[in-house]
Chain A
Amino acid sequence: MALLQTNNVVKRFGGLTAVNKMTFSVEAGKIVSIIGPNGAGKTTFFNTLTGIYTPEEGQIQFKDKSLLGLRPDQVAATGIARTFQNIRLFGSMTVLENILVGMHIQLKQGAVDTIFRSKKFNEEEKDAENRAKDLMEYVGLKNVGNELARNLPYGGQRRIEIARALAASPTLLLLDEPTAGMNPNESEDAIKLFRRIRDEKGITILMIEHDMRVVMGISEYISVMDYGEKIAEGSPAEIRADQRVIEAYLGRGAAVAHEQKV
């Protein structure tokens, strides 16, 4: 059984069907990508998975439990963490605090512990702080724990967002265009980081990505969306050769030309 399984998920906005009959699965321990032209419905699909949108039809199963009807925070509590296409850090909090917010679900301190600074509270905070520092180093950031998140350069902010998502100790990590705006060197580093996350922490990764070098370099399985529908899926090699994918990306004429060249 797949870790994440969706069946005929439909999400409409008024007359527009943003996600149409998506049947899709992610095997545990894999790195899976969703690609597709702009406006194909990839991010909407992500938002449907994480509970921000409720699908009109279909089922979503995660670890054999339905995610339908759960609020985003409840979805997060089942072990799905995510990053956002346009970085959404808590800008006026420090880097370390951003990561600590990611641990919200795991921390058990209540209001009484907090006000009386019980032993439990102090130990938990210290432990959380240490874990946050470790995560910061894990994603390759040093000496920025006390900086306000908004003061970090773009690449740094991307990393914090990933650290914040990792802080929730998720089973499944959703990355929405994690290398957008990065130069080739930075993308290379990002790919290494994603591999390490999967290999060392055993976290399954599902990502939306535009950069084909990244997609082809890291994905073990790729789904292609266009106009809200899945038009192809398979290994990177299969996708590269798929007629419909080339059409979706390059248009029909170009696809024909491409075919003739091949």
Chain B
Amino acid sequence: MNTFFSDLYKKANTGFWPVVIAFAFLVVGTISVYLNPRSLFAFLTLLTTPVILYFMKIDTKVKVFIGLLLLIVILPVLGIRNIFYLEVIFQMAVFSALALGLNIVIGMAGLLDLGYVAFYAVGAYAWAIFGSKQMSLLHSIPGAAPANAEFFLDARWFWLFIFLGVGLAALMGILLGLPVLRVKGDYLAIVTLGFGEVIRVLALNLDKPLNLTNGPQGITPIQRPPLPGVVQALGNALTPLVGHVPTEAEIYNVFFYFLALIIIGIAIVVATRLEDSRIGRAWTAIREDETAAIAMGIPLVKMKLAAFAAGASFAGAMGAVYAANRTFVSPETFSFQVSIGVLTMVILGGLGSIPGVIFGASAVTLLNIQILQNFSLYLSDLRQSDAVIPIINFPWKNLSNQLDPAKYQKLVFGLILILMMIFRPSGLIPAARRQRELGDEKEAE
């Protein structure tokens, strides 16, 4: 049976077939999502396209063409028709960036960091504090803000804060690293876990003596950057495809989608280039064998700090974008759960594998915010009907409310981690080392 499928795959993966299959998924997916914006199945069909593009033998130019068509035209259009999909994809992009960053720390340098969400929080709170009215409310009690408070900075400062987010997070990475990197393995995991919690608790409690973070209520509203004219025009140009004139909120969603896409693009380039360089090799060497690495002249502390800083910076940038996108941040967003979630993505995709962690981040995010939710909806539909579970004749109505799939996020994370560690410890798309040209004359020998 197994050979039947692998034979079939081999046949499908030759000649023009891959292109046909990729196009088929793209077209069928697009049309079905267009006609049926609520169907999960249609959306999954569409999202299969990039996976096919990655795995099958297709000419690079064709791959790029289909990929760009999907990312730049199809997704924004479909996203305006059903704004939820754009939100799903935005979240995929956010978590992909986080997973790429954590992948540098864990996957490449082998430093188990369980408090990664802290860097995300730093980036988000940086823009949240300065991009909201919070700076004018430093002396007021949380919840009792005077109505006439002013925004502290112009919304255009947002652009600077993306970079500030990068810098601040990297700085935090170094500050955390300096004392922490003296410990290894399990101890490092515990200390970083503590650090993640410290940042969250700080956000929770820094509403006094100066009201910096507004405590558990979180900061809102946070400004969004004014839309560049180009984006506005592009949004309006989509009118015939979408079927109505896009509202400002819809265009903002598309705008943040593209912003996240750009950051992901940069993150991929940076991560790939770092990996294939003296720095990346030093990280891998440290992961493989610290003693040998240091004997080769690699300064352990410096390189580990670099890994922490580089990994943190991705989260910092995405944090600022996230704060503006949501116009709201609160300490709850940055719980330990998120660190574990990102870790799950990295492990599911493949430690150290850049395409792997993006795939992992997308899959887990999708599972989390869409597939489980859909199951929940389906289940609650069943519960309201008179249907019974076949064979055991148990009416759905009597099923406990506790059995709600959406409540099983943590269970799912745990299951993924356990199953991956047992059956596929190197992830779904394992990391591969770069193959180099060895020169013909040497091959010939």
Contacts and interface: CB of A to CB of B under 8 A. Distances in A.
Interface of A: 50, 52, 71-74, 76-77, 81-82, 84, 88-94, 96-97, 100-105, 107, 109, 111, 114-115, 117, 121, 125, 129, 133, 137, 142-143, 145-146, 148, 164, 168
A76 B295 contact: yes
Given A72-B294, A142-B442, A91 B288 contact: yes
A101 B306 CA distance: 17
B292 A84 contact: yes
B343 interface: no
A220 B168 CA distance: 58
Contacts, number: 118
Nearest to B266: A115
18 contacts: A52-B291, A71-B294, A72-B291, A73-B297, A76-B295, A76-B297, A88-B289, A89-B289, A91-B288, A92-B433, A93-B284, A93-B433, A97-B433, A104-B296, A107-B278, A145-B436, A148-B433, A164-B296
Interface of B: 269-270, 273-274, 277-279, 281-282, 284-285, 288-289, 291-300, 306, 310, 433-436, 438-439, 442-443, 445
Contacts of A91: 288
A234 B80 CA distance: 85
A50 B294 CA distance: 10
Contacts of B281: 93, 97, 100-101, 104
B90 to A, nearest CB: 25
Contacts of B292: 84, 88-90
Contacts of A145: 436, 438
Given A50-B295, A101-B281, A143-B445, 17 more contacts: A72-B295, A73-B300, A76-B296, A76-B297, A77-B297, A88-B291, A89-B288, A90-B284, A93-B433, A100-B278, A101-B293, A104-B285, A109-B277, A111-B279, A143-B442, A148-B433, A164-B296
Contact of B438 (A71, A88, A143): A143
Nearest to B286: A90
Contact of B442 (A72, A76, A84, A133): A133
Contact of A133 (B277, B279, B438, B445): B438
B438 A121 contact: no
A73 B433 contact: no
Contacts of A168: 296-297
B441 to A, nearest CB: 11
Nearest to A103: B278
